[in-house]
Structure 1
Amino acid sequence: MRRVVLCGWVLVVCCGCAGPGGGDEGRAPGAPTGVTARAGSATSVHVMWNAVPAAGGYEVYRGSTKVAEAPASARMLDVTRLAPATTYVFTVRARDGEGRLGPRSREARATTPAAVAADRTAPTRPGGATGRAVGGRAVQLSWSASTDDREVVSYDVYQGGVKIHGVGGEQTATVVTGLRPGTRYSFTVRARDAADNLSPASAPVRLTTASGAGAAGGTAPTGFRATTRQADGAYYIDLAWVPPRLDGVVTEYQIQLDGQPATSLVWGGAPPRGEASYSFYVGREAGAGHRVRLRARLPDGTWGAYSAERAVTTGSRR
């Protein structure tokens, strides 16, 4: 397998790559992608990351110090006992079942707000909580902003009685991924201030994810386009698409050409917020027809649904 950096993309070219369960024995897991950090209060930071396939667990570092471990099923962790008004740098490492540690993720920075003396007043309860299922593995939630005598710093999202996510105090919507198709869930939201006072829980939002063939539909890239062009006697396919709207960061895509996996793309810097694009070589023959589509690796480490398939012919822009 070769890795080539092209215009922000890391192109992974598989030449006889082993399938699942083959060729990876004895190899440490890769670095977690999509690592983010946001202050949860004056003394805590909420760290999130994308799942690493086959990881047996994760280690979270503050600077060079390991501050916590998380199980393989986790994609988030609250780092507590921090100092107010301080900037911290966090990284995450994946560990396999044999204890081998992978490389560190990219750094994520967060600054805790200043402490508020003698604040015992909790924010008001988030109102108007609602949501909808997005395919079989995600739901979109929204709520009305809470108020506080000082400031709402963050919102905690709960599945049942377990906190599964956190967003900044300026947000009143989020998408929860990593769910199971055809499953009923109950979510609530609580507001938090800098002094770690928690509001009462919102009204529960009960949703059922899609099942069957359409279960992953909401995870597909949209607006997918494909055209061909010629340069220096060779033909290329130019792709453009809109990433699926999910909580967490989509950093990897797989392109399927003529019904077979062709390349995997790993975003080498900050992923695009809007339309993404990529171009790849398909040969020197004019009039060759191809079918192309792509899918995203979701923040929970699974693959989402494929985009619509497009047919192109070299030498033609249609």
Structure 2
Amino acid sequence: MDDIATVLDDVAILSKVAAKKTAGVLGDDLALNAEQVSGVKADRELPVVWAVAKGSFLNKLILVPSALVISFFAPWMVMYLLIIGGLYLCFEGVEKLLHKFIVSKQEDEQAHAEKLKALADPSINLADIEKDKIKGAIRTDFVLSAEIIVIILGTVAAEPFTTQITVLSLMSIIFTIGVYGFVALIVKIDDLGLYLLRKSVSGSFDKLQRFTGRALLRFAPILMKTLAVVGTAAMFLVGGGIIAHGVPFLHHFVEHSVDVVSVFPTVGTIAGSLTGIALNGVIGIAAGLLTLVTLTTARKIKGALVN
């Protein structure tokens, strides 16, 4: 019983650490899935969320055993996979930032209008569009799930193999239920607001109900935008932190900078934490830009060679 209690205690502690390290990726996962699921008919939103959730469980069923095999036979690969995943996060974050700065609001609105026009076309099969949305969301989930699992694996890499299995399996199930539970809640917030506005009651409760309905309708788009911003920022912080931890000279630079700032009385601890976060963000942005430039150059060279 003592051994079981010790193992469960280790699992609980490691699960908390893994949850903190993957918080940024989870935020991005939540925002991306909520964005991809939106746009379908209101009565089809929850079935689509459920279909994507089932695909996510299947992704985890593939990824968790694969991660465990790598950890058992080639543990040295974990750090390299973490760095690759961190570079991917930073690259994706830079793409989002550049999209906001390069693509004008008018172009975004025009693309949205063309999408609505296509959906109104009776010759288009909405069931096919829904299937494409589900497939796209599951592909996105596979990439982000792989990143989450690699981060968790990096957290428990030094632990016994049974503990690795337990933590990976437990966190995969909890994360999937949590993410898609929140996605289902997010996509139905506006429907709840409309329901409260349309439902007629008498008395002072009617004013409260209508106020709540209007508040929910205003809150839904704000929540989506906030999730997108937080998710993008988290990409740089998490990705930059992973890269800084995996590259020795960057790791020492961040640690030394934090130590230098932390010596100040009273505010030293807070200043040190903020310095570490800021440096991880800067490293993340720099790594994302470098990855983007490298990939763009490689594509141009490949195109030139082909032509």
Q: TM-score, length-normalised on structure 1?
A: 0.20
Indicate the structure with greater helix content. 2
Indicate the structure with greater strand content. 1
Q: Which protein, 1 or 2, shows the higher relative CO under an 8 Å CA cutoff with sep ≥ 6?
A: 2
